Amino acid sequence: MQVVIFDDISTQNFYPLTHTRSTGDLRCGILKLRQRLQHAFEAEDSVIVIDPRLEKLYQERHPDWQINNLPEGDKLYLNSRIRFCPEVISEINSLVPETCLCSTDGTIALRSKAQIPFGDPLPEGILKVQSNCKLYNNIADMVHDNAAMIKQDFEDIFYEADNYFETEPGVTVLNPYNIWIGENVTFAPNVVLDASEGPIVIDEGARVMANSVITGPCYIGKKSLIKIGAKIYGGVSIGAVCKIGGEVEGSIFLGYSNKQHDGFLGHAYIGEWVNLGADTNNSDLKNTYKNVKIYSYPLKTQIDSQTRFMGCVVGDHVKTGINTSLNTGVVVGTGSNIYGSKLFSAFVPDFSWGEADQLLKYRLKEFLTTAGIVKGRRSIGLSKEEIILFEQLYGE
């Protein structure tokens, strides 16, 4: 039986982050959604079904993956949006041929010989089995599930893994059995690792500078840098090759993004190749303590996030100037370059340039030049398929 991990039409609910990636490549916890499914179902060679507009980009990046190429025979389809609960794995494993596990959020899993490409409805004749388990419906769901998923990933994967737990003199460690440290991680003096409230995982090649405080549950990705005096609170996941300073709480960074300086970031989701200028701050709680509204790309309006705590969502390749202020729930679209002293609220459209009350369209040629320079600093080029995708996004 071949495992197929599929995105569905709800990938649009996760724009701008899924402008440039599969829903399965969103991080929640230590792992990305796709990685967690592959681990749980022992399916590293799974087929993936993604939005056709991303197909050539993924084929370019992952030439050995099976992308939108469904095999014949019995297949187990797994929705990349699965929100893990204790029952979901056993419920999925109990599926017999031509049955579907469903929730109020949509199709969780399907076992069938049918060929079901991206966005297609269920084939006729499928028996539906109802489940109480859920799917992620928007970015706020992931932000608020992040701490729980860090704990689960630690127990499932890292607790028994080879641990290079060694710290330099002067590093304070609380609850060391709740800490996993990868190879070639370095610590400067006066670092505090407090795993009293949840696990801390610091992955290979990361560096933690002096006087930083990291509290669990927290994940620091490979080759990331935690700057001097950083305050990293619980519920934070930081992807690979990031540089993080200041105060961060309950937030997710995908990778290759920088928040090097002082400033508060709370309950936020940050894409790749983002640079937050010095003293960029966001609000994650309204003064009225009412639920935060967040912009929906499919509906083209703000919707209730169902939570009082929600900061910003920042798409790939966004840059903010010094002292930029981001209001509660603001969504900053892909490729934007924003600055100035006025508060950014609600929604900043993709490829915007300027201040909050005077946004212009960022010139595509200038955006691509900057993106190429930024990636080049990490010895990564801006590929042909990336350029084509950005041209398409720019024209929408």
Predicted confidence (pLDDT) per residue in 193-207, tens digit: 999 999 999 999 999
Residue 389 has pLDDT above 80, yes or no: yes
Q: Which two tokens stand for residue 87?
A: 């029952």
**Domain termination residue (choose one: 110, 137, 164):** 137
User: Average pLDDT, stretch 219-235?
Assistant: 98
User: Average pLDDT, stretch 100-120?
Assistant: 92
Tell me, what DSSP letter sits at residue 309?
B
Domain match, 202 and 275 both: yes
Domain match, 324 and 233 both: yes
User: Average pLDDT, stretch 103-119?
Assistant: 92
Domain match, 112 and 182 both: no
- Cα–Cα distance, 97 to 113 (Å, whole number): 8
Backbone phi, psi, residue 42, to 5°? 50, 55
Comparing CA positions, the residue from 171, 173, 218, 206 lying closest to residue 191 is 171
Q: Which two tokens stand for residue 371?
A: 């993106």
E strand or H helix at 186: strand 186-187
Domain match, 101 and 150 both: no
Domain match, 308 and 159 both: yes
Residue with tokens 């519920």: 235
Comparing CA positions, the residue from 183, 242, 191, 194 lying closest to residue 217 is 194
Domain match, 12 and 156 both: no
Predicted confidence (pLDDT) per residue in 246-265, tens digit: 999 999 999 999 999 999 99
In the chain, how many domains are there?
Answer: 2
Lowest mean pLDDT, pick from 32-46, 132-146, 163-177, 220-234:
163-177
For residue 379, name the pLDDT band (cuts at 50, 70, 90): very high
Residue 114 has pLDDT above 90, yes or no: yes
* CATH of residue 92: 3.90.550
221, 241 contact by CB (below 8 A): yes
In sequence order, what are the residues at sequence separation of 6 or more whose Cβ sits closer than 8 angstroms to the Cβ of residue 287?
Answer: none
Comparing CA positions, the residue from 35, 119, 32, 45 lying closest to residue 76 is 45
- Cα–Cα distance, 141 to 271 (Å, whole number): 16
Residue with tokens 């069938």: 112
E strand or H helix at 354: strand 352-355
For residue 221, name the pLDDT band (cuts at 50, 70, 90): very high
**Domain termination residue (choose one: 76, 104, 137):** 137
**Residue 290: domain span:** 142-395
Cα torsion angle, 214, 205, 378, 24, sign: negative
Where b means 16+ CB within 10 Å and e means fewer, 92-112 reads: beebeeebbbbbebebbbbbb
Name which residue leads in pLDDT, 33 or 120.
33
362, 47 contact by CB (below 8 A): no
For residue 162, name the pLDDT band (cuts at 50, 70, 90): confident
Residue 167 has pLDDT above 90, yes or no: no
Domain match, 241 and 284 both: yes
Comparing CA positions, the residue from 246, 255, 193 lying closest to residue 224 is 255
Where b means 16+ CB within 10 Å and e means fewer, 256-272 reads: bbbbbebbbbbbbbbbb
Backbone phi, psi, residue 277, to 5°? -65, 165
Per-residue model confidence (pLDDT) at position 159: 84
pTM, two decimals, is 0.96
Domain match, 100 and 164 both: no
For residue 148, name the pLDDT band (cuts at 50, 70, 90): very high
**Domain termination residue (choose one: 137, 166, 183):** 137
E strand or H helix at 144: helix 139-153
Domain match, 80 and 152 both: no
User: Average pLDDT, stretch 375-396?
Assistant: 95
Start-to-end CA span in the chain (Å): 39
Per-residue model confidence (pLDDT) at position 86: 81
Residue 168 has pLDDT above 80, yes or no: no
Q: Which two tokens stand for residue 41?
A: 């179902």
Domain match, 166 and 68 both: no
* CATH of residue 343: 2.160.10.10
Predicted confidence (pLDDT) per residue in 332-359, tens digit: 999 999 999 999 999 999 999 999 999 9
User: Average pLDDT, stretch 36-49?
Assistant: 94
Domain match, 333 and 232 both: yes
Where b means 16+ CB within 10 Å and e means fewer, 147-182 reads: bbbbbbbbebbbeeeebeeebeeebebeeeebbbbb
**One-letter identity of residue 336:** S
Mean pLDDT, the chain, whole residue set: 95
The proportion of the chain whose per-residue pLDDT surpasses 70, expressed as a percent, equals 100
Domain match, 294 and 324 both: yes
3-state secondary structure of 243: strand
